[in-house]
Structure 1
C-alpha cells in the first residue's frame, strides 16, 4: 500500500532512491541536470510513495525554460520574470527559471538542449545580457526547441525570434524632454558599450541633440561595465567632477540613474535643483526614489509576456508575423527633472 503523501518527506524519498534530497528536488522541479537513469529511479520512488500525487506525464503540464544567464538579479530581471509568469498562467503552462551559475550550457550545448527536451520543455525564452553562443542556438534548433530572446545583446539573425523595445525613440524622447526644459549641457551614461540597447539609446539621444543644434561633446558620454548602481556612482561622479559639469544626465537604466543621484548627493549637488536626471526602464525603483525619477518606460513585463506567447506559437508550429518585434517606449515625467538654474 502506498504511504500517506502527507507523511512522506523528501528525505524518505531520497533514502528510498539512494540519492540526496537536493537531487529529488531537482527531479520534482523538472531540472535537467540529473541523469536519465537516476531520474527514472527517483520518479519510481515518488510514484510508489504517492508523494504529493506526483505524476511524470509532462505532456499534460507543458513547461517553458526561462534562461536568465549569470548576471546579477535586478529589478529589470524581476519585471521580466513577472511578465513571463503572468503570461504563462493565462496560457496554462509552467515556467522553470534557470541561470548559468546553476547549469552552464556553454560546457556542452548539445547535452543541455537534449536534457531540456527530455524533461518536457516546449521552448526556451532567454533574457540575458550575455550573448548566447552560436553552438547553443544550433543545439536548441536540433533539439526542436524554439528560442525567443528578450532585448538581445545584438540583433540576432532572422532564424531567431526576439522581442525588444524602441530604444532609439526612448533616447530621443529623453534628450528632447531635457532640451525643452532649457538644458544644453546634457550627459549620457550607458552600460556596456557593446550592447545594442545602449548604442540605440545613445543614437536616439545624439539625434535629438543634433536636431536641436546642440551636439553633445565626447567628454559628456560615459559607459560603465554594467547597469549597476555602483557604475552610476562611479561614472556619474566623474561627470560631475568635470571642469564644466552637466546640468542634466540621461542614464540608460534606472539603476544607473540612482547611482548618479547618489554621486550628486555625496557632492552636495541637489536633484533636481542643481542637476536633472532621467532614467530608462521605469521600474518600481524609479517610482520609489526620492525624488521620484523621470524615466523612459520600457514595457518590460509586456516584453516578457510577448516572448512567452511567441515561444508557444513556434512550439505549436505556427508562423509568426515578424522575427523581431519592438514594443513602444514612452517618457514618464516625475520630479527628478526641472529647468536649469540661471
Structure 2
C-alpha cells in the first residue's frame, strides 16, 4: 500500500529495480558494497520516482526548527546581496536557518519539464520551503517542488509559468513612471531607456511605466531609444553607447537597474560627456552601486531587504500549512534624487 502522504518508498524503488530494500538503502546512504550496474539502475529509478528520504526532525527547542533554501541563479551582485540580507534578518528574527545555493544548470538537451533531482535532495536535507531568485521557472520545476512537498516563493520574478505561485515584488510600473516624470520635470524630452530582457515581467513593467509617462506628456519615444539587456553593468555600457552614438542622442537615460545605470555613466564618460551636465541618468534598485557611483545616482528605490523579509515570512506560513490572503505582494517603490540628474 502506498504511503498516505504520497511519497515514494524504498520498497517501491526496490520492486521496480528487482532488488531488495536493503540494496536500495545502501545506494541511498552511499554505501560502497553495491555493484556499479545495480547502483546505476537504482539511482536512475530513485530519480524517476522522485524518491524523497524521510526528514529528521529538529531537536525540541532547537532554534533551527525550520530550514529555508534561498536559491539564486547567476553571479551574486549588489541587488542579490540586499535580498540575502533581508532574508537573513527575517530568518534571525523568526529563529530559522537559511541555506544559500546556486540553482543547478539545466543539462544540455534535458527535457524542459523533466523532474529535477535537486527538489528531492532539498526535501531529504530537511528544507521546509524554497525562496527563489531566478530567471526561469518551468512547469517541471514547479511539479518537482510540489512532489517534494516544498512550498515556493519567488522574489521579483522575471517570469512565472503559473499565476498561483506566491511572489514578492515591487511597484515596477509606478517606479518606471516616477523615473520618467522626474526627467520630464527637469525639462528633458529626449529620454532613452536601457533595461533588461524583453521576456522579463519586471522589465516590461518598468518600460511601460516609462512609456506611459512619456505619452502622458505628449512625447514620442523613437524605437531606437529603447535598449534591452540583462540588468548588468556591461549592458549599460553597450546600451548607453548605442544611444549616445545616435544622430540625435538622448539628453537623459532611465536605466532598469543601478548596475546598468553605472554602465551608462561609463559610456558617457568615454565620450567626453559629463553627468549630469551633459546627460542625466536614473537607475533602479537603490543598492550600494547607487550610493557609491560618481556622481551619486538618482534611482528608484526597490525595497529589496523588505522584499526578502516578506518572502521569508511567506515561506514559513506556507510551510506551516497556512493560507495566503494574496499570492502576489508588491511593495512600494520610491524615487531617490541624488546628483546624477539635473535640468536640461
TM-score range, shorter chain: 0.7 to 0.9
Q: In the alignment, is residue 275 of structure 1 matched against residue 267 of structure 2?
A: no
Structure 2 equivalent of residue 112 of structure 1: 118
TM-score normalised to the size of structure 2?
A: 0.80
Q: Which moved more, 1:105-114 or 1:258-267?
A: 105-114
Unaligned runs of 5+ in 2: 1-26, 32-55
Q: In the alignment, is residue 203 of structure 1 matched against residue 208 of structure 2?
A: yes
2:178 to 173, 190, 195: 173
Q: Is the 8 A contact 2:179 2:210 kept in 1?
A: yes
Q: In the alignment, is residue 163 of structure 1 matched against residue 168 of structure 2?
A: yes
TM-score normalised to the size of structure 1?
A: 0.80
Structure 2 equivalent of residue 304 of structure 1: 308
Give, in angstroms, the shift of residue 57 of structure 1.
Answer: 4.8
Alignment deviations for residues 93-137 of structure 1 (CA, whole Å, 9 cap, x no partner): 001111025898979635322221111101000011x21111111
Q: Is the 8 A contact 1:313 1:319 kept in 2?
A: yes
Going from structure 1 to structure 2, the CA distance change for 1:263 and 1:168 (only over 3 Å counts) comes to same
Structure 1 equivalent of residue 142 of structure 2: 137
Structure 1 equivalent of residue 89 of structure 2: 86
2:157 to 146, 152, 159: 152
Spell out structure 1 runs of 4+ moving beyond 6 A: 102-108
Q: Is the 8 A contact 1:58 1:119 kept in 2?
A: no
Q: In the alignment, is residue 250 of structure 1 matched against residue 242 of structure 2?
A: no
Q: Is the 8 A contact 1:156 1:162 kept in 2?
A: no
Q: Secondary structure at 2:100's aligned position in 1?
A: strand
CA distance in 1, matches of 2:116, 2:245: 50
CA distance in 2, matches of 1:155, 1:136: 11
Across the aligned residues of Structure 1 and Structure 2, the Cα RMSD in angstroms comes to 1.9
Q: Is the 8 A contact 2:119 2:148 kept in 1?
A: yes
Structure 1 equivalent of residue 22 of structure 2: none
2:128 to 116, 122, 134: 122
Unaligned runs of 5+ in 1: 1-34, 40-55
Q: Secondary structure at 1:67's aligned position in 2?
A: strand
CA distance in 1, matches of 2:116, 2:104: 18
CA distance in 1, matches of 2:325, 2:197: 31
Structure 2 equivalent of residue 37 of structure 1: 29
Q: In the alignment, is residue 237 of structure 1 matched against residue 229 of structure 2?
A: no
Structure 2 equivalent of residue 52 of structure 1: none
Q: Secondary structure at 1:140's aligned position in 2?
A: helix
Going from structure 1 to structure 2, the CA distance change for 1:322 and 1:109 (only over 3 Å counts) comes to same
Structure 2 equivalent of residue 12 of structure 1: none
CA distance in 1, matches of 2:302, 2:165: 22
